[in-house]
Structure 1
Amino acid sequence: MPASTVSPLRSIVRRIIWAILALTATVLLVYFGRDGYRDAAGGPLSVLDCIYYATVSLSTTGYGDITPVTPLARLVNVLVITPLRVLFLIVLVGTTLEVLTERSRQAMKIQRWRSRVRDHVVVIGYGTKGRSAVTALLGEDADPGRIVVVDTNQAALETASSLGLVTVNGSGTRSDVLRVAGVARARAIVVAPARDDTAVLVTLTARELAPKAQIVAAVREAENVHLLRQSGADSVVVSSETAGRLLGMATSTPSVVEMFEDLLTPDAGLAISEREVEQQEVGGSPRHLPDIVLGVVRDGRLYRVDAPEADAIEAGDRLLYVKKVTPAEP
C-alpha cells in the first residue's frame, strides 16, 4: 500500500507548534487562576511564575515550589492541565515513537517477505542495462513482486518501486545487502552495474551466496568476459561490442538491425522465447514444426537447429523459437 510521506521539517515544525499551544494554554489557565496557587517563595504569582509552573508541570519535573491549594485550582489541574501534560509528552516523543514504529513495521515486512520469497529474480544495478532487463522480464509476464532491484541511487529505486518492484538500497558488492535481497534463494541474478570491476566483485559475492542461481552479467569490454566467467557468471553479455556490431551492420544492412530490434522488443511484433516440447513433437525434427525454431536446449546446453544433436527432439527438451507478440490493448 502506498504510504503518505510528510517532510521531516514540516513534521517537526507541526509538533513544535502543538507543544507551544499546549504550553500557552497551561500558562493562561494558571495565570487566570493564580489566586488558587501558592508559591513557596511567598507573594502572588507573576507571569514568569506561571510560565515556570507550566513548564515544570508539563515536563513532569514538578519541583513542588508552586502548588495548587484551592479546590478549583486542583480541579483545573486534574481535568485540564493533566490532559495537556499528556498531549505535551506525546508531542515531544511522538517523532521518536513514529520513527521506531515505522522501523519496526518495515523490519517485520522485510522479515516476512524474506521468509516467503523463493525463485525470484534479483537485478543488481538499475541503470540503462538493468532497466532494460526488467522491461524484458515484465514483457515475459513476470510478477513485479518477484523482481528485486538493488541499487544505491534513490531516484532509480523510486522509479523501480513505482513499477511494483521490490527495492533494496545498498551496494551489490556487500553480502549483507544481497542477503536482504534474498539472493541465496533467487532463481536468477542479473548483474548490471556501470563498471566492469564492480560487476566482477558483485558476481563473486553473489556466487558465494547463491551457488545454484543463474547469474547473467553485463560488461562493457570483451577483455573482461573471462574474469566474469571465472567469478561465477553463467552468461556474459558484452554491451559495447554488441552495440558496435549493430552499428556496423546498420551502415550496410539496416533491415537486419531492424529485425534484431524487433526480436529483442517483447511488446509487439516478433520475439525470441523458449517453451517445453509437446508430447506429439518428441521424435520429430525441430525444422518441421510450425514454429520457427532457432535451437534446442537439452540438459542445460543449447544446440543450434542445424546441429546434429538437434535432428530429433527428445523428451525434456526445450525449444528456442520465434513467436509472434500481440500488442496489449491500451
Structure 2
Amino acid sequence: MRRTTTHATLTRKSALPVWASLSLRVLLVLALVSAAIAVHWFDRAGLRDNFDGEVSFADVVYFTMISITTTGYGDIAPVTERARLFDALIVTPIRIFVILIFVGSAYNFILKRTWEKWRMARIQRDLTDHIIVAGFGKTGSEAVDELIARGRDASTIVIIDGDPERLERAEACGCNVLLADATRDATLEDVKIERACSMIVAAGRDDTSILVVLTARHLAPDLPISIIVKAEDNEFPARAAGATTVINPVSFAGLLLASSCNGRHIADYMMDLASFDGRVQLAERRVAPHEVGKALRDLESGLGLRVYRGGKGYGWADPEAKGLLAGDIIVEIVGGRNAPA
C-alpha cells in the first residue's frame, strides 16, 4: 500500500547550525566593509567628489560600497597615491572575499543542501540489508559501538530517536539518523524495515520498546528483532509482541553475580565472551557442507556449544548434536580479536 503522507528523510551531521554559519558570514562581510569605510573616512582627503567637491561620511559609505560591490561610477574617485594603493591592494581583495562569501553561502545553503537532501533521499530509497536501532540511549549506543567494532559499516546502521542530542552522537559515529517516533508505521516504513537484516529495540521504557516491536513485527514478519527490557515481567509480553531475542540486563547481572559466588573467574569469562575485544567470542553460523555428519563437539573452527534445528536448541551432549545436518545453526566459541596467535 502506498502512503500519501510526507516521508521523513534521513540526515547526517552538519558542521555548524544554519543560523551560526549565516551569522559568521554576515559578521565577516560587515567587518570587511566597516574596515574599508573606516580607512576611506580617515583618508577622505585622498578622495574627490566630482559632483559637489565635498566628501561627506555618506559619500564615503557610498564610495566604499560601490567599490566593493561594483567597479564604481566615477563620480567619486581616489586622487592621491595612497588612496589609489589602498583601493588597489585592499579594497579589491575585499571585493573578491565578499563575492566568494556570497557565492559560498549560496552553495552551502542552496546547492549543497539540495544536493545533500537528494543524496540522503537516494540512500534512504536504496536502503537494504541494514540494521535499525530504535533508541540511542546508553544501551543503544553501546550496541552500535559493538557492531562497529565487529566490522559493521556505520553507514549501514539507521538510528531512530526522538532526542536531537542523541542523534548528534549517532551522526558523529557515521550512522544514518531519523528524528522520529519508532512506534509509528510511517517511521518504520521510511527506514525500509521490510528490507532490513535485523533490528535492535532499546527505547528506554519497556512499554515503548514492546510497542515498537509490535509495530515492527506486523510490518516485517520475518525480521530478527532484539529487545532489551528492564522488568522480568515484561519478558513474556516482549516475546508475545514478536521479539526474536529478549535481553534482561538485571537478570543477566544477577546470573553473573550468582556465578561469581561459585568461582571468581566465571563472570570474567562470561564478559569476555560477550565482548568483541575479548580473547574468546561467541559466534553463530550455519553448518558448513564439510561439517555435515560430524558431531558438534568435533568442530575444528571452535568449541561447539549448541545446535539449533527446527527452532529447537540442543546441547553438545544431546543425541541430536552427534550428527550435524544441512541447515543447522551452530553456536560456538571461537578465538576473539585479542586471542593469542
Category of TM-score, reference length = shorter chain:
0.7 to 0.9
1:219 Cα deviation from its structure 2 partner: 0.8
Instruction: Output the amino acid matched with 1:17.
Output: A
Corresponding residue of 2:8: none
Query: Aligned letter for 2:153?
Result: D
Q: d(CA) in 2 for partners of 1:315 and 1:155?
A: 47
Quote the residue 2:110 is aligned against. 100
Report the equivalent of 1:318: 329
2:286 matches 1:276? yes
Name the structure 2 match of 1:119: 129
Q: Map of 1:55-70 to 2, 5 A cutoff?
A: none
- Matched residue, 2:307: 296
**CA positional deviation for 1:155:** 5.2
Counterpart AA for 2:307: V
Q: Which amino acid aligns with 2:227?
A: A
Higher mean displacement: 274-283 or 294-303: 294-303
Q: Is the 8 A contact 1:31 1:50 kept in 2?
A: no
1:230–1:103 CA distance, 2 compared to 1 (3 A): farther
The answer to which of 228-237 and 294-303 deviates more is 294-303
Determine if contact 2:239/2:246 at 8 Å carries over to the other structure.
yes
Matched, 1:189 2:199: yes
After superposition, the Cα gap between the structure-2 partners of 1:27 and 1:178, relative to the gap in structure 1 and judged at 3 Å, is farther
TM-score, length of structure 1 as denominator length: 0.73
1:255 and 2:265 matched = yes
Structure 2 counterpart of 1:50:
59
2:274 alignment partner, one of 264, 272, 276: 264
Q: 1:224 aligns to what? A: 234
CA positional deviation for 1:255: 2.6
> Is the Cα contact below 8 Å between 1:34 and 1:45 reproduced in 2?
yes
Gap change, CA 1:269 and 1:132, over 3 Å in 2: same
SS across alignment from 1:254: coil
Aligned to 2:49: 35
Deviations 1:80-106 (A, max 9, x none): 999988976875686465223342132
Q: In the alignment, is residue 240 of structure 1 matched against residue 254 of structure 2?
A: no
Report whether the alignment pairs 1:138 with 2:148: yes
C-alpha displacement of 1:242: 1.6
Select the structure with the greater relative contact order (CA < 8 A; seq sep ≥ 6).
2
Distance 1:281 1:95 in 2: 62
What residue is the counterpart of 2:28 in the other structure? 14
Question: What is the match of residue 211 of structure 2?
Answer: 201
Cα drift, residue 187 of structure 1: 0.4
Deviation string 1:172-194 (CA, Å, 9 cap, x unpaired) is: 34555545544332100101122
| Count of residues paired in the alignment | 314
Which residue does the alignment assign to 1:213?
Answer: 223
Q: 1:119 deviation in Å?
A: 0.6
For 1:199 and 1:2, locate their aligned partners in 2 and report how far apart those are by CA, in whole Å.
26
Distance in 2 between residues matched to 1:282 and 1:126, nearest whole Å: 41
Does the aligned pair in 1 maintain the 2:136–2:202 contact within 8 Å? Answer: yes
CA separation in 2, counterparts of 1:18 and 1:189?
53
Segments of structure 1 that go 5 or more residues without pairing to the other structure are 38-42, 61-66
Compute the displacement of 1:234 (Å).
Answer: 1.9
Q: Deviations over 1:229-286 (max 9, x none)?
A: 3433222111222222322332343332222112112223221112222323212332
- Aligned partner letter, 1:285: A
1:163 & 1:137 partners in 2: Cα distance?
Answer: 11
Q: Do the aligned partners of residues 82 and 137 (structure 1) sit closer, same or farther apart at CA in structure 2, a change above 3 Å counting?
A: closer
In the alignment, is the contact (CA less than 8 A) between 2:13 and 2:168 conserved in 1? Answer: no
Percent identity over paired residues: 27
Out of 104-113 and 7-16, give the one that drifted further: 7-16
The structural deviation recorded for 1:33 is 5.5
- Separation in 2, partners of 1:70, 1:59: 14
